[in-house]
A and B are shown apart, each in its own frame.
Chain A
């Protein structure tokens, strides 16, 4: 493993842009300054109070406001309480409460973040007590991290303290008393002192805390308040899967997240994904992606460093997405990045290194089998065989490697594994005034291309090595700063940058690698006897387009390198305006993002290869103008910069009236300009609102929405309102439910709203009538005098507006057995309407070409489905285990798209899914000799032989033709995705595994990937029909012109070719060991974790076995695809 790692040629990776380095340097300097300022003050919630004869209630409110504590008390008590005069600064909650309760007949207990007020017990007599003894200890979490700020309290008393930065506390306590340790996010623990002077405590993290914070649009909510359908995953969970592209790491972990990973090529391995499937047949199906409220596109999303992520939330229903108005209909993905928290500076370093291994290598037939099948195809056509019996024998025994070679091109070009590594370093911490989080990352992913040796006599003109292998390198950095100059004001400054470099060989080696017209196993040897690269004998095989020996391309070819810079800066200012009215705050944010791409290439004009004739030892060049290795020539691709400026102003209000009435409100102004190159900017402006009310956390009502405007429409159609409403009912908060102890949560919720999608085409004003230059010259004149034609172009439609979607969502959140078991279930029914559609029923003799027809808001698609997420966290002695299952189902149906009435009912795609294919129905058999001779058996026109595919004659007219093609209601997108995570932890060890399945999709391979003699001959073709194997054949009879028959999937698709892509994958697995903190203390190490994990470790799929393509492949793919790779990875995470 280590060897492979060092096999990287680091010395070549010198090429970081200078600007980037400069930017990093400055930021680091800035951050260091801030870090130095941090001092070691305590971390508890500090309270400032100044009141004279205030009611206790008022005091409680202030405390609640400042420290987010809840109070529990009987309303009657308040009457009995005395007014309080208090003046404290930076006091702890205990200090404040102590003062308040000093003269009262009441006392209090702090439980988690709740303060319960109760009457002081009247002591009938005094108890003599032993003198208090000093006690001290250290509080850590399960993985041994010290926990600062933990409240340590003597049971039944007000005496308390907090742990310091190292998790250490000191207290005076009597031996028969108990200590209570409590902290947010941890289960409270009670320990009897029993004469000890040192007590170390390990706090256990709370399981599914009701107070868990859920990130929603423009804010956060406690889980119990949430009324919408949101799924969320934390960094810890994302981390269990290794990989280079963020979207791949989310697969199986979130409900409503549908993905397809189409390729494994470094830099292009990211999965496409949708939220709750798709609901429009237009191309705009991508969800809105926001990283700390900054819009990212899919290409930028994949670059996000997991190290920077706090959580990823997926917003699914109308209530969650309506505040994004016209951008929300496809769902919203929110990425929240990590921020500094109060505490001493911590440094975490994580490094991991691994191997990418193709999930499966593409198998082609060897030269002998290929030659046999080639002969068979020719003989079936009544043509002479290409190979003699002697040829076949030579291919079989391999004794004539030059005259009768046998080359497995895949294995020649690709190796079995490629390295990758990822390294991250972050610093975080903070004081009252300044909090900071800084992350640096470096990722490197190598490619599977073999380093093919050039053995020729002619000298290579380049002395320096050129790396033309696939690779990706990525430098990432983020700094998030929060500055609080005064109590009510927070200024956040976020800066992030990514430098992403992708390398690929040029010319591309593999596009044609499995096309029979381009390479064949018997075609030619890799090397000739003199070391030059081999090429085909003109009498045997003439590669299409004179296609070069791929080994020569790999050994001597150049590269195409793209450089991608992505920078992002955001400034947010949050001002509390309690001075005006309690609970009011205002926030302003400006973010600017900039991306640029440039490329550089090295390529050769010519690479020689020769046909070697073993009979006379002659060498014939592939191209008789190429006899030398041309030197590299440099190419540059200019930048394609784009930038985006977003301005936001929020007005936030959150207040509780009369204890039980919780009100929150948000009003937001939002404006974006997006500039792509020199094109006109996209301008967007929106006003957003949210209003929430809940009564005793029992009945929750929420209304939200957006009033959005876009420059893509005419003035009258420019703005639109997207409203949503939601109701939730926390049944478990009802008094009659209190006694049902095993139910911790039982919440019903429902939402309805309208959300839009303006992702409807690139920079086009659909309302404009246009003419355009046709691009063709008509050259009148005795000597040419060309005129460039002008023609009618797009017809406009003034009424064009965005797509809209009505979304219904009903959900159920449940928690049982002390929150060990939680279940969230959602049902949704969405109806997308006003889908921009070009009318299909305009007759063509009107002379309006289909592509210039105006877009009209008339399409309708329904999208229904459900999601279930269940988790169970259990404990058996020292063994912790957890199970998490996610099930998402989404099925869309075209309701209307103005298709002309179908001539046959089976040709109507209305009522079926988006992306269905019209195809012949294979009846599962092949024509027999008798059927071929029998004119009454329906057959397609043209040549039909025994052993050919037999299709159903749907309209019964005795002939198989295009009328017999039917739409099959299966598309290329899975309708159901399932994820199952299993985890076990014992002491420091933990193991987790994630299984994931995608069901309900079909795919077929393109004709150049599957049809014999057009695609490489594959095991699939060995099972062809022959008179002898008629009973067991699974593939039709061969003909040398298979691609010219009616069986060719291109244009004559049939169910023979389409195949279910249902798959089950072991998406990821992780084994980790976390060291006990105590053991590491002397090294100043606060945490140490070793882990090994993997991605896509096993795949089960029928599709795979047939076509050898990954089941997530897109339809009708003709080129060889860089194989999807599994990753096996080991790493260490260390914290100081």
Chain B
């Protein structure tokens, strides 16, 4: 009995101790332990973190929805593939690019529309959070003032992007919404949105620095603000917006365009572009000594150059090579340039290929072309760096060529047009190599400003001024001046002829720079493209090594109807707030 009692008490006290032990920290046992040291208070109480928060807003600056690096990474596909610039690698019908170009709008497309809407409004919210907290941050007064201007630029830029996709959108001002904020906003009219962006740029431009050097390089400058204003006003003056609404509904019409046309908008656009030129800070990056058009090639490889107004700031990278190099070079071969793009390049003498005097030879179509062509497209036998043999070797795109040969459009293992993209790529680096460049793809560069100026000037009747800009661009491109010194530009083009020249120049100069998609829309050219095929080149290699080539239609005809001009406002947005009107055709 004694043993029993002892044992019993021993065990009881053991149990008691165990429980007492487990309860001793009863108050703290269930206390949550913080998993995170970052929140609104701690971020804005620290200057470095505040600047990191700002860096994140900057990182929203990217090329439209693409794949990686310098492109928005919301879904596959890119805006280029949705135009006549290129065709997509992805054969899947679920692929957003395919849904847009074939007009089969499935859930993925709607998801993408929602993602874009959310992407930019998220960035706008982050901007407003920054502005809200700025006062209490430990930044210097000067830095506070300057970064506020940067954020206001970025916020306006995001609105510009939203307007491209959706027309007039909801201007939220400086508000940082809470989840209990009322949801009754309406879309602002197109005019209100344009006025907002312009007034913001007018307000901030004078106070922004002209340029940055050292570690601050890449931040928003006065030039960037003026360039955004120039682009926005050019768009606003364009046919789609300048009284040319695609909707009959007057209310909807004012949301997506100016209700009526006004030629003075071209004047404002011209002036805005002229303002950038008048800064005298920028010039076309020219080097025709090394080889014709080398400046056009180098400008995309050099981080700092005379032409860039606002680049996307990247670490050392192979982003372009990785995304566009052909399979044999280890790249992901996103986007295949079309025959349309190839044909848009003039000859080395500046004459278009359908000009009798151009000396164009269909059998040898890649001979003697505008030097920009060679820096934009990889065609059959074009040379490019081959990491395996450590030198430039030809890329073969003929039918049946190993790896890079032309493929049926139902597979995604190689080109479906006979071409690979090369724009901005460093020919001495392939995706499969380990070298990097410090390039930064441009958001705004001086060439665009000149094209903006040319377009607006031509619409304002100043055709010669317009042609001067094209001549400047062609001179830099390495085109031969010709006996008349006009680089293939006819002497006295009509306004219409000049317009076509300007549009073509814009197509080739700014290829794969996120411009074509918006240009086609603002020029209201949908009917021109609806039901049309893009073309590729089918090259057969003969036994003797010679080639036979023929153009062919790639995939199905392209779709371009009224609903192609604008993306649909996300359904959930309308479902939860019936004040928001949907875009035409959706």
Contact = CB atoms under 8 A, between A and B. Distances in A.
B263 interface: no
A900 B104 CA distance: 25
Contact of B314 (A649, A773, A779): A779
Contacts of A683: 29-30
B30 A573 contact: no
Contacts of B35: 680, 763-765, 768
Interface string A672-685: 00000000100101
Interface-centre pick from A647, A778, A788, A941 (highest chain B CB count, 10 A): A778
A846 B58 contact: no
Nearest to A1052: B106
B411 A517 contact: yes
B6 to A, nearest CB: 10
A790 B94 contact: no
B179 A901 contact: no
B56 A778 contact: yes
B410 interface: yes
Contacts of B315: 777, 779, 784, 786
Interface string B113-138: 01001100111111011000000000
Interface stretch (A273-281, A1040-1048, A1073-1081): A1040-1048
A35 to B, nearest CB: 23
A770 B102 contact: no
A671 B22 contact: yes
Contact of A847 (B55, B114, B121): B121
Nearest to B412: A544
Contact of B52 (A712, A769, A789, A843): A789
Range for the number of chain B residues in contact with chain A: 35 or more
Given A779-B314, A780-B219, A840-B572, A791 B53 contact: yes
B95 to A, nearest CB: 8
A940 B218 contact: no
A624 B328 CA distance: 10
Contacts of A710: 30
Given A771-B39, A1050-B93, A845 B7 contact: no
A138 to B, nearest CB: 38
Interface string B159-196: 00000000001101000010101010100000000000
Contact of A542 (B42, B58, B403, B561): B403
A780 B217 contact: yes
B103 A941 contact: yes
Interface in A806-838: none
B568 to A, nearest CB: 10
A782 B217 contact: yes
B36 interface: yes
Nearest to A853: B179
A647 B22 contact: yes
A186 to B, nearest CB: 35
Contacts of A543: 413
B313 A847 contact: no
A763 to B, nearest CB: 7
Interface in A697-724: 709-715, 718
A400 interface: no
A372 interface: no
B12 A586 contact: yes
A1035 interface: no
Interface stretch (A245-253, A483-491, A501-509): A483-491
Contact of B32 (A711, A793, A844): A711
B39 to A, nearest CB: 5
A961 B559 CA distance: 15
Interface string B542-567: 00000000000001110101000000
B576 A841 contact: yes
Contacts of A625: 388
B128 to A, nearest CB: 8
Contacts of A793: 38
Interface string B30-68: 111111101110110000010111011111000000000
Given A763-B35, A900-B576, A781 B215 contact: yes
Contacts of B556: 942-943, 1041, 1044
A768 B34 CA distance: 8
A781 B214 contact: yes
A671 B23 CA distance: 9
A776 interface: yes
B314 to A, nearest CB: 6
A785 B316 CA distance: 10
Contacts of A159: none
B493 to A, nearest CB: 39
A685 B57 CA distance: 43
B94 A1050 contact: yes
Contacts of B4: 485-486, 488-489
Given A669-B19, A844-B114, A779 B572 contact: no
B528 interface: no
B210 interface: no
Nearest to B53: A790
Interface string A222-261: 0000000000000000000000000000000000000000
A845 B12 contact: no
Contacts of A485: 4, 7
A192 to B, nearest CB: 47
A539 interface: yes
Contact of A771 (B43, B102, B117): B43
A900 B571 CA distance: 9
Nearest to A849: B122
B234 to A, nearest CB: 26
B76 interface: no
B214 A844 contact: no
A539 B51 CA distance: 54
Contacts of A941: 102-105, 559, 561
Interface string B281-300: 00000000000000000000
Nearest to A382: B553
Interface stretch (B243-251, B394-402, B498-506): B394-402
B217 A781 contact: yes
A1041 B122 CA distance: 37
Interface in B514-544: none
B36 A768 contact: yes
A792 B123 CA distance: 10
B104 A771 contact: no
B126 A620 contact: no
Given A573-B11, A1044-B555, A542 B411 contact: yes
A82 interface: no
B32 A765 contact: yes
A909 interface: no
A788 B43 CA distance: 13
A787 B55 contact: yes
A1048 B92 contact: yes
B56 A774 contact: yes
Interface-centre pick from B40, B125, B573, B574 (highest chain A CB count, 10 A): B125
Interface in A920-963: 940-943, 961-962
Nearest to B15: A588
Given A488-B8, A765-B35, A902 B575 contact: yes
A625 B388 CA distance: 8
Contacts of A943: 102, 556-557
Nearest to B574: A903
Given A538-B405, A769-B40, A785-B215, A486 B92 contact: no
13 contacts: A489-B4, A491-B11, A538-B401, A711-B32, A778-B59, A779-B313, A846-B177, A847-B122, A848-B125, A962-B106, A962-B110, A1007-B92, A1044-B93
The 3 closest A-B pairs by CB, nearest first: A847-B125, A789-B56, A539-B400
Interface of B: 3-4, 7-8, 11-12, 14-15, 18-19, 22, 29-36, 38-40, 42-43, 49, 51-53, 55-59, 91-94, 98-99, 102-108, 110, 114, 117-118, 121-126, 128-129, 169-170, 172, 177, 179, 181, 183, 185, 213-219, 303-304, 313-316, 327, 388, 399-403, 405, 407-414, 438, 555-557, 559, 561, 570-577
